[in-house]
Amino acid sequence: MISQKMEAAFNKQIKDEMYSSNLYLSMVAYFENLGLKGFANWMRVQVQEETAHAMGLFDYLISRDGKVQIDAIDKPPYEWSCPLECFEAVYKHEQLVTSLINGLVDVAEQEKDRAAISFLQWYIKEQVEEEANCSEICAKLRLIGDDRHALLLIDQELGARTFVAPVIE
């Protein structure tokens, strides 16, 4: 059985992961409107990943006899001035998610919930990867500046990304 404090923290994180999914879905629309199908594809994969992250937490909470409570999700922004600004927002958001996961681990440590601590190690590693990926794309976008040809090359590169369902243990 999971403690009430841990249950509440997991429910909050589920909500936060679903917000991330909606944020990235909003970014899909932004990039589709710009005609940058590769960028939109990259964001579509992010939508799937964030939903999978939420479902991993959802399933874990149920497996611990916790009660899942689905809360309302805030409306995400939907406009950015350019692809770089959008990806800078992604990077900042992933840094926020990292802090939220760390906070969830803090609760698990306070509650001495070793099972939750073990489970959350996957999320900690995932956030390192998420931040690195976003940072790399931001660096490329800064490097190319206003070069539209280079932007199309990055668009092509991002279009090759595919979703691989994570194995959350």
Per the structure, how many domains does the chain have? 1
In a domain, 120, yes or no: yes
In a domain, 100, yes or no: yes
In a domain, 75, yes or no: no
In a domain, 18, yes or no: yes
CA distance 73 to 61: 19
CA distance 108 to 92: 25
Identify the CATH number of the domain in which residue 134 sits.
1.20.1260.10
Reported pTM: 0.96
Angle between helices 37-63 and 114-144 (to 10 degrees): 170
The helix/strand/coil state of 100 is helix
In a domain, 150, yes or no: yes
List of long-range contacts for 164-167, beta carbons under 8 Å, 24+ apart: 165/52, 166/49, 166/52, 166/53, 166/56, 166/122, 166/126
pLDDT at 169: 79
CA distance 151 to 145: 9
pLDDT at 133: 97
| Rounded mean pLDDT for each run of 10 residues along the chain, 169 residues in total | 97 98 98 98 98 98 98 97 98 98 98 98 98 98 97 98 92
In a domain, 169, yes or no: no
Residue 21 domain boundaries: 4-69+80-159
In a domain, 166, yes or no: no
CA distance 48 to 82: 23
CB 87 within 8 A of CB 135: no
pLDDT at 35: 98
Q: Which of 89, 66, 72, 94 is nearest to 8 (CA)?
A: 66
The helix/strand/coil state of 76 is coil
Residues 121, 126, 131, 134: what is their CA dihedral angle, to the nearest 10 degrees?
A: -170
In a domain, 167, yes or no: no
